[in-house]
Amino acid sequence: MNTAQFSKIKGAVFLFGLFCFAHANCTNTAVRREWRTLSTDERANWISAVQCLSELPHDPALTPYVNPDDIVSVNASGSYYDDIVYMHMDLNHIIHFTGLFLPFHRWYVQMYENALKEKCGFNGTSPYWNWAADASDVYGSTMFQDFDPVSGLGGWGNLSDDAQVPNGAFSDFKLSYPSYHTLRRNFTLQPYIGLNPTLFTNPYEDANATFTQSEVDKMVNGFVGDYKGFQVYMEGFEGAHGSVHEILGGDLGGTCPSTAPANCTPGPTFSANEPIFWMHHAMVDKVWYDWQTANSANAGIFYGGSVQMIDNATIYAEYPNGGPPMLSLDSVMHADGMFEESTVGDVINTTAGILCYIYE
């Protein structure tokens, strides 16, 4: 046996040992379920915990890491929920269109679930919204027809009223960013009209065409051994991830409220205002999880750069999930002082590292 062969075997044994050790930590695997499979009481429990976070005071531990010039400063009069939203605002440029997109949002949803449990008595697991099941009729989905003031998500807002959610448990959900306002939601079937045509190459496409079951199947069963290809298909400018954000409009779509200052920058920054954000990203995570488990070549792989490269179509085509310096499993995901920082490797497997859940 030569030195190179021995090194390969030694490395494989070491990685296998780490794998087994990580799995030993996951002894009570949680199961994440689709929102509509939850009982009324389970839905009410999750909603109550979300509302609880919005009633807790600002955490002075919040310390912006990026400090971009396209967002407002921290509002110390905001809530703990607002603080978690601000994390997403501050980190926007390093967690979208970089290799951190999938691992960061997986970690972010888990940290949010932990906060719901530790601070507000939540006793369930993060629900997901299977938007593929609703792709043919998002507007008429049962997700937006439950107006119960305790267990319902509420329906669609009207632009004449700044798209404020008119009913359900979040009809009076107050938010601080980008300015003080009530949660907004408005159905937008063709959100890409008028945007940069070199990046949004099919501006008249209906958003729901990108997150059908056939599109999900294409993601889960394709891109074998190709983390970059999988991420880019999911996160691309007209991909499933962004289309779900945009079709709901309002806060999830990143549109500025009527109360916002004239220099408000629309975009993904404050999209975590919308409680459905957490269910949407749990579904994004589920699709990644399903892809990871669909083929052994997908398990545990990772690739991407740390610098967002979306200034123009040419540079995006070269670095669609980030440019150098390149990231690795050891790369740290920043928490803005809100949570303990983790690495990509900590969350690359949902039943290892700091995670212990699967999807139903």
In a domain, 166, yes or no: yes
How much of the chain exceeds pLDDT 90, in percent? Answer: 93
Label residue 140 exposed, middle or buried (CB < 10 Å: 0-12, 13-18, 19+).
Answer: exposed
For residue 299, give every residue at least 6 positions away whose Cβ sits within 8 Å of its Cβ, in sequence order, or none: 292, 293, 349
**What number is the average pLDDT over the span 144-151?**
98
Judge whether residue 197 has pLDDT over 60.
yes
Judge whether residue 348 has pLDDT over 90.
yes
Judge whether residue 18 has pLDDT over 70.
no
Instruction: Say which CATH number the domain at 334 has.
Output: 1.10.1280.10
C-alpha span between 259 and 66 (Å, rounded): 25
C-alpha span between 48 and 275 (Å, rounded): 12
In a domain, 30, yes or no: no
How many independent structural domains does the chain possess? 1
pLDDT, residue 25, reads 73
Question: What is the reported pTM?
Answer: 0.93
In a domain, 163, yes or no: yes
In a domain, 177, yes or no: yes
- Residue-wise pLDDT tens digits, 248-280: 999 999 999 999 999 999 999 999 999 999 999
The 3-state DSSP class for residue 164 equals strand
Judge whether residue 339 has pLDDT over 60.
yes
Domain limits for position 49: 36-359
Residue 355: what are its φ and ψ, rounded to 5°? -110, 155
In a domain, 18, yes or no: no
In a domain, 23, yes or no: no
pLDDT, residue 1, reads 44
Q: How confident is the model at residue 7 (pLDDT cuts 50, 70, 90)?
A: very low
Judge whether residue 293 has pLDDT over 70.
yes
C-alpha span between 269 and 253 (Å, rounded): 10
Judge whether residue 244 has pLDDT over 60.
yes
**What number is the average pLDDT over the span 125-142?**
98
In a domain, 109, yes or no: yes
In a domain, 28, yes or no: no
**What number is the average pLDDT over the span 123-146?**
98
What is the enclosing helix (H) or strand (E) of 287? helix 276-294
- Residue-wise pLDDT tens digits, 46-96: 999 999 999 999 999 999 999 999 999 999 999 999 999 999 999 999 999
